[in-house]
Each structure stands twice: as structure tokens, then as C-alpha cells.
Amino acid sequence: MPMLSPHFQKRQASAIRIAGIRFAEREDACEAVNVAIGNVSLPMHEALRERMGNLTAADSPFRDGVVRYTPTVGLEETNAAFLNILAASGCSTAGLHPQITDGGSQAMELVILGVCGPAGSDERPLLLIDAAYTNYKAFAERLGRRTVSITRRLDEDGHFQLPSPEEIEEVIVREKPGGMVVIPYDNPTGQLYRREQLVELARLCVKHDIWIISDEAYRELFYRGEESISIWLLDESEVPGITGRRISIESSSKVWNACGLRIGALITDNEEFHQRAVAENTASLCANHIGQWIFGALAHQSHERLQRWFQHQRDYYREMLSAFTEELKQRLPGVIVSRPDAALYSVVDLRRIAAPGFDAMDFVLFCASEGGVDIDGRRMTLLTAPMAGFYNVEPGQENPGRTQLRVAYVETPERMRLVPRLLAELFGEYERRRTAADDSLRDRGHPHTATGPVETA
């Protein structure tokens, strides 16, 4: 048989998809509550829904059944929609250059190609602040680029602490990255950056002449404070030299509940980067035309109407985040849950209550493949994302994600209310089985060996 490439030979499923893949192999009648991936279950903004329902209307470009390519940079209206959204958050859009991409994912790939060098004398890796969204590392590996990381730690009070500017600068000096990724409304941690933290990071990027890449897919999803955070709200008075080195990654998926549209944007205040990024993307021709046209409706919404939508989204998630955090702490005393400050995720750390040798990946696969809880006559299980794949640690180093899970608030409120019970009871069942297995080994004269980590993406 022909050989697979080395890349394919070692490729494993993403941490955010592995539970769903394993669950699909089950043959029993178990039902899954899937909070492993940010696949939002809410309806899209009404302006998008109106366009989706009128694809063949007289004013639709598809009224005759013809779906042509668009310019690589994207439809003018769709680019205007992303700028209008930025302006509604109080950002100046003067001098900004947007281009439309196939979701935020394609924008990530273009960024990596644009700021990082391949292996060699001019390598310039991508700097991540772990825990970091898994696809940055996955795309870098796909493109033959390297990532370097500095790790946040989850305190016992549920707060993720950013490394100090001095620690980050030490990594910059040592690794010489091409750019630093920041996620102000953070995926996966739910951390909300403070403005002064973003200013400090931006100043480091200026000092060391590297790009600052802000993943703003969750902008406006914050649950403390009153103001938006964005690199586009920083200016020369706060960060001298910031102009011309900023890039943001935008998405229709999360704030607008349009995951399946696969429409994103890459915005920069550097004209040359913009031109080169569009040129690079000509190989992919364009983002999908229908999705662009649907999302373009937001170009015509007033800022007041967009702000009302932002507030509606915040109110919806704030209640679920708080309820989940409180109930899980009651059901699993000693569990650590990250503070519900932003985005639509919580990190659950079981390190204080799990028996030695606990591995979150193994627990996730147990829930997906055989675990279950009887609820109102239904057999149910829970799909979550193991956090080890969100950390980029060197071989032999401790991976903080080994005892952590990510929970996404993407099911309906009714089903989300089941998550604390499912997680607590499945964890109890899993730990009892592990204890029984260890006792059986000891009874047969085998020395106790803690379960080892399972390979993850």
C-alpha cells in the first residue's frame, strides 16, 4: 500500500472533537449532552435569519439559482458588516483593512503563514499563552511552523493568572517569535483580560518588533465590568508604535450564533500585510458566497440595535455560567471551576478530588464510550473536551490539563442544567471503577501503577 505522510501518520483527532467521534461508535441507546465543542445552539441574529429565508427573493443575488465566486477579499458588504460590528463596540475603523475568510480558522492559518517563518535561521515561531485554543498549534504543525508557549496556572479560587510581563518578555527574547496571540475573551479558560493587561502585552510587541494577533471571536461576551476590550480600542497615546502591527481574527460563529456559516474575517491596520494575505488566499479563491451574503446583513444594522443584541447574548450566558459553577461546586465539593468572566466556556479541574493517576482524556473517553446516568427513564452521558491538548508542554514536563476539562455552554438551558449532575455522577462512576481495578491488581499481586496519559492532539 502507498505510504501516508509523516504528518498524517501522527495526526490525532482534536481534543474538541475526540469525544464526539468516540460517542458515534457506541451502539447502545445512550443520549449525549455535548458540551465538548462551541457549537452554539441559539438562533442567528434576526437580520441573518431573514436573509437565509429569502435566498430566492427578487433582491437576492441567488434568485436565478446562480452561485458564483466572489472576489478573494470578500464581498464589500460583508467586509462592511465586520467593520460596522467593530464600530458598534466603540472601535475606530479608520485605516483598517478587512478580508473575508472561511471562518476564523482560515484567518488563523493566514496569520501563521504571514508572521511565522519555517524551520531554519529565520524561524519566528508563534507565541501562545497556554491554555490556548488547540487549533493554533494544529494549524502551525500543518503549515510546518512552530509554536512556543508560556503557561497560565489555574488558582484554587478558579482564577487563571496571566504570567508577568517580565516572564513573557523572557520567552520573547529567548524564542524570537514572529507574533503573539492574545484572546481577550478567552477560549478555553473563560478569562477576561483587563485593559491594562492588553496594554502591557501590546507594549511588549512594540518593544520587540513583533505582531500582536488578537482573537476576538468572543468580543462583547463578558460578564464583569462594563466596557469592551479590543486591540482596536488601543491607540498611540497608550501604546506608542502600535499602529501597523495589529491583526484581529473575527468570526460569525459565537456572538452571532452562526457556526455553520463558516464566515470569518482577518482585519489589520497594516496595508502590506492585508495585500499579501489576500494574495495568499487567492489559492483558495474565496469564502462561500451564500454565507457572505447572509452575514452581510449586519452592515445595515444600527449600533444601538447591535448593542441590544450584545446585551441579550450576555444576559443569556451569564445566568447559565453562574448556575453551572454554583451547582457543580455543591455536587463535587473541592472541585475547581474557572471564574465565569467571559466567552462561553468553563474549565473544570478535578486535581483536588481525583485519586492519584487520574487522566482527563481517559475520563472523557470513558464517558463517550461506555459511561451513563439514568435520568427520567433515559440513559445519558456527557461529552466534554480534555484540556491537555490546550497546553503545549515539553516532553517530561507536567501538563496542567491532565486533570482538566473544558465545558462549552452550547446546549439549551434545559439540557445545560443536566451538566453538573451528569459530570458529578459520571466522575463518581469512573473513580469507583478505577479504584476497583487497582484493588483487583493488588489482590493478584501486581504493584499499583497509576494510569498514564492518553495521547491527544
Question: How many independent structural domains does the chain possess?
Answer: 2
> Same domain, yes or no, for 70 and 15?
no
Write the pLDDT tens digit of every residue in 75-128. 999 999 999 999 999 999 999 999 999 999 999 999 999 999 987 767 899 999
Write the pLDDT tens digit of every residue in 38-70. 989 899 999 999 999 999 999 899 999 999 999
Instruction: Give the list of residues 6+ apart from residue 90 with CB closer than 8 angstroms, or none.
Output: 227, 228, 233
> Same domain, yes or no, for 76 and 13?
no
Q: Please give the DSSP secondary-structure letter assigned to residue 333.
A: T
Domain-located, residue 447: no
Domain, as residue range, for 346: 6-42+307-439
Q: What is the CATH number for 196?
A: 3.40.640.10
Domain-located, residue 76: yes
pLDDT at 444: 59
Distance between CA atoms of 249 and 213, rounded to whole angstroms?
7
Last residue of a domain, one of 257, 273, 302: 302
Q: What is the CATH number for 38?
A: 3.90.1150.10
CA-based nearest residue to 187, from 128, 143, 246, 102: 128
> Same domain, yes or no, for 311 and 292?
no
> Same domain, yes or no, for 34 and 52?
no
User: Are the C-beta atoms of residues 404 and 348 closer than 8 Å to each other?
Assistant: yes
Please state, as a whole number, how many other Cβ atoms lie within 10 Å of the Cβ of residue 398.
Answer: 9
> Same domain, yes or no, for 145 and 27?
no
- Full-model pTM: 0.91
Domain-located, residue 70: yes
> Same domain, yes or no, for 92 and 148?
yes
Domain-located, residue 345: yes
> Same domain, yes or no, for 188 and 102?
yes
> Same domain, yes or no, for 36 and 53?
no
Domain-located, residue 53: yes
- Count of CA atoms in the C-beta half-sphere (13 A) of 143: 24
Last residue of a domain, one of 283, 302, 321: 302
Domain-located, residue 453: no
Domain-located, residue 224: yes
The C-alpha angle with vertex 64 and arms to 60 and 67, in degrees rounded to 5, equals 75
> Same domain, yes or no, for 219 and 330?
no
> Same domain, yes or no, for 398 and 261?
no
Q: Please give the DSSP secondary-structure letter assigned to residue 319.
A: H
pLDDT at 456: 36
CA-based nearest residue to 358, from 425, 406, 430: 430
Distances (CA, A) of 215 to 108, 218, 222: 9, 8, 15
User: Are the C-beta atoms of residues 57 and 279 closer than 8 Å to each other?
Assistant: no
Last residue of a domain, one of 244, 268, 302: 302
Q: Which residues of the chain have pLDDT under 70?
A: 121, 437-457
Distance between CA atoms of 46 and 300, rounded to whole angstroms?
12
Sheet holding 147-151, edge to edge: 97-102, 263-268, 246-251, 211-215, 179-182, 126-130, 147-151
> Same domain, yes or no, for 291 and 350?
no
Domain-located, residue 152: yes
> Same domain, yes or no, for 315 and 433?
yes
